[in-house]
């Protein structure tokens, strides 16, 4: 079994794959730079115990991170509590994807992992949309080349900034509005969150396809579940895309 870890700006997602490449469990923790290796290690041990998995059953680990400060803490946790040296997704890691951007070292590990998963599972050319703290879109052509992407503020990031800068607006959680036109402040904000995000995604995808031709669209990320019923039915939704990408990369590097 292996443990896959996706370290994002807001949350860290852990996934456990069995020897048949089946994702048997995921759990998440808030990403905190000040959290110790013991805290991460104990959380891992407790989750394994809950699943009835022995520590000795864990044969490897892989980490994709966009928060470098957390990397050595997680590496120490894996070594101390699981006796495993995790593989980090960094420039030079075998992925099967050719990076065709100006400076490949600048490509975020999450964008690369998503591209690997989408190309291997659904086929290229494809567009990968990841809805998290940031909203990102990555483009892979039919030669499995990562051509570049788009990064703009995530739903909650944008609205947190809006509310802090606007005296009369109140804080709102993302939710499914009853109609596109809100009848009060809360529903108006929620409508902006949902339909504004969908409009932006659809518009960017339309422009990408205009420049590069038709492509599959794969959507992932924690916010995607709030948009499911409003997204284009042709889009593929895969909440575990990055976990599967990490598992694929781990196998390529053995």
pTM beyond 0.75: the answer is yes
User: 254: helix, coil or strand?
Assistant: coil
Q: How far apart are CA 211 and CA 194, in angstroms?
A: 26
Q: How far apart are CA 134 and CA 49, in angstroms?
A: 33
Indicate whether 193 and 121 sit together in one domain: yes
Residue 93 domain flag: no
Tell me if 105 sits within 8 A of 91, measured CB to CB: yes
Indicate whether 190 and 78 sit together in one domain: no
Q: What is the CATH number of the domain that holds 47?
A: 3.30.420.40
Give the mean pLDDT of the chain. Answer: 88
Residue 252 domain flag: no
Indicate whether 240 and 202 sit together in one domain: yes
Mean pLDDT along residues 160-185: 63
Q: How far apart are CA 9 and CA 66, in angstroms?
A: 7
Of 92 and 64, the structure prediction assigns the larger pLDDT to 64
Indicate whether 84 and 103 sit together in one domain: no
Of 6 and 228, the structure prediction assigns the larger pLDDT to 6
Indicate whether 70 and 107 sit together in one domain: no
State residue 81's pLDDT score. 95
Check 21, 57, 110, 238 and give the catalytic one.
110
Tell me if 221 sits within 8 A of 132, measured CB to CB: yes
Catalytic site includes residue 160: no
Q: Which two tokens stand for residue 134?
A: 């940031």
Indicate whether 178 and 68 sit together in one domain: no
Indicate whether 115 and 80 sit together in one domain: no
Asked if the model's pLDDT at residue 12 lies above 70, the reply is: yes
Domain count, the chain: 2
Indicate whether 19 and 122 sit together in one domain: no
Q: Which two tokens stand for residue 232?
A: 């284009």
Asked if the model's pLDDT at residue 156 lies above 70, the reply is: no
Q: How far apart are CA 185 and CA 246, in angstroms?
A: 41
**Residue that terminates a domain, selected from 25, 59, 88:** 88
Which residue range(s) make up the domain with 119? Answer: 98-246
State residue 160's pLDDT score. 64
Q: How far apart are CA 87 and CA 83, in angstroms?
A: 13
Indicate whether 69 and 184 sit together in one domain: no
What b-and-e string marks burial along 115-129, b requiring 16 or more CB atoms within 10 Å of the CB?
Answer: bbbbbbeeebbbbbb
Q: How far apart are CA 123 and CA 144, in angstroms?
A: 9
Handedness of CA 165, 170, 173, 177 (dihedral sign): negative
If you count them, how many residues does the chain have? 254
Mean pLDDT along residues 63-89: 95
Indicate whether 120 and 215 sit together in one domain: yes
Tell me if 157 sits within 8 A of 134, measured CB to CB: yes
Q: How far apart are CA 153 and CA 189, in angstroms?
A: 16
Residue 253 domain flag: no
Indicate whether 192 and 235 sit together in one domain: yes
Indicate whether 120 and 181 sit together in one domain: yes
Residue 254 domain flag: no
**Residue that terminates a domain, selected from 40, 67, 88:** 88
Mean pLDDT along residues 61-80: 95
């Amino acid at each position: 079994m292996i443990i896959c870890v996706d370290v994002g700006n807001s949350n860290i997602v852990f996934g456990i794959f069995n020897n048949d490449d089946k994702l048997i469990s995921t759990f998440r923790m808030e990403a905190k730079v000040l959290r110790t290796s013991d805290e991460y290690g104990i959380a891992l041990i407790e989750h394994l115990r809950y699943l009835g998995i022995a520590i000795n059953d864990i044969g490897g680990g892989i980490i994709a991170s966009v928060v470098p400060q957390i990397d050595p803490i997680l590496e120490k946790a894996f070594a101390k509590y699981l006796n495993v040296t995790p593989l980090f997704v960094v420039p030079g890691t075998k992925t099967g994807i050719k990076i065709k951007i100006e400076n490949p070292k600048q490509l975020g590990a999450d964008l690369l992992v998503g591209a690997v998963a989408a190309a291997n599972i659904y086929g290229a050319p494809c567009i990968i949309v990841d809805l998290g703290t940031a909203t990102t879109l990555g483009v892979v052509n039919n030669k499995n080349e990562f051509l570049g992407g788009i990064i703009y503020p995530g739903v909650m990031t944008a609205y947190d900034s809006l509310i802090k800068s606007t005296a009369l607006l109140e804080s709102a959680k993302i939710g499914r509005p009853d109609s596109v036109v809100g009848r009060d402040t809360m529903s108006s904000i929620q409508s902006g969150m949902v339909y504004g995000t969908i409009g932006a995604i659809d518009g960017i995808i339309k422009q990408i396809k205009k420049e590069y031709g038709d492509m599959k669209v794969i959507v992932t990320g924690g916010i995607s579940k709030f948009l499911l019923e409003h997204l284009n039915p042709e889009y593929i939704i895969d909440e575990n895309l990055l976990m599967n990408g990490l598992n694929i990369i781990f196998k390529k590097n053995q």
